[in-house]
A and B are shown apart, each in its own frame.
Chain A
Amino acid sequence: MHEMSLTEGILQLIEDAAREQAFSKVSAVWLEIGQLAGVEVEALRFCFDAVTRGSMAEGARLEIISVSGIGWCMDCSESVHLKEVYGECPRCGHHRVQVTGGNEMRVKELEVT
């Protein structure tokens, strides 16, 4: 969803960091994307190439660290792995699971020159 807006957000974070930390070119970007964040990684890569064209991040390598989905099962009172936002608890099979992790979208670090 909305990968273009997300990519513009990434570029803004990069440009802010460039002003604060005095670098002028980015050669690689590490993102942490949760499996439950609703981000289509291939669409994100496509948008990243388009949005960064002509910027300090043009041609930068995009490394995506996938973070597994975690939920709290209200029936088992336990943290469980989740494959989908509305996924079932792998222990009890019920759907009363609240997402507690794996919905992040973060810029983790940059390789700069």
Chain B
Amino acid sequence: MASEETSLGTVPARPAPWRDAKIRGIAYQVAFVAAVVGFIGFLVYNTAANIGRLNIPIGFGFLQREAAFGIGESLIDYSPADTYARAFLVGLTNTLHVAALGVVLATILGTLMGLARLSRNWLVSKLAQVYVETFRNIPLALQLFFWWGLLNKLAPGPRQAWQILPGVFVSNRGIAYPMPLANPAYRWVAAAFCVGFIATFGFRRWAKRRQAATGQQMPTGWIALGLIAGLPAVVFLAFGAPFVLEVPALKGFNFSGGDAMSPEFAALLIGLVVYTGTFISEIVRAGILAVSWGQSEAAMALGLRSAQRMRLVVLPQALRVIIPPMTSQYLSLTKNSSLAVIIGFPDLVSIANTTINRTGQAIEGITLIMAVYLVISLAISLAMNLYNRAVALVER
């Protein structure tokens, strides 16, 4: 503004310093930062004084000490003779395990329920609505207690286990379910799957470029199916199809064979999936409704088949609406997995809690949990933002 005035020939009067927006801005910021720093300093000073008075050792040295407490379940090797650091690692893997499974299952359940609510079948859409309205409006902590009470306290012993599906047994020892016996061939099948996946990606890019250049279409769908499903199948058959499904069987006082989840893990997983699924179903429903009907009509007018219409016209636009709120649901599922502590599943928070109670190192323990969750949150947001950028509307 000043330059305009000078160009008009009038000399701008410099405002007094206390009226200059720039100087005032700096003054405000200095005052604000000073207040915040002062407040934090006050807390740190008090904390230091209190710690000195209470004689609490400070620092992360306790992590190297022997933990000397047992952990119910663990994906990595752990014994009470290991260090606290190792115990934290067990908690972290347990948290990540339940969160990763939860995210996948909640997405599947939520998408199915979201589609069901849009169904033209009255009964299907009403049932989906009842599911959403019931489980969305009850606190997750209560739901976890409910599933845990059901699985741990009310379920019968292994001898009278409920068989909910053929080969799936629910008892107060958890949920036992069939699992194929491990075989070295599976590693090669998995490798073939990855190769097929990457090859499909490359092929799709090539086919798209070819279509843009020549107008000729390739049967992308069939070739992708062949690469992703066919290649592993061929490898599987080449190894002689080594498939033995091991069904859990009652042996003594518990099930052996197959695989099993503890009641705590199962309750946490079911609770998280059922609760988060309600929110995801609303997001999916809103996303699909956000694509106007005119888009579908235009696609039909162009002669696209119903599957093409969904894949090429509706879904890409719906995903743009769906992904940002979906990210926050994944984040809240991960954070909500910390409720494990109330039903005794040894997740990160639960182990940190035990550690704090045993060592008294509250500040370090809480700092550690917060840091880990912040890193997880940032990692999930980053991954989802990258994906979001890939599907976002490219504007000029």
Q: Do A and B come from one complex?
A: no
Residues of A within 8 A of B (CB): none
Interface residues of B (CB under 8 A from A): none
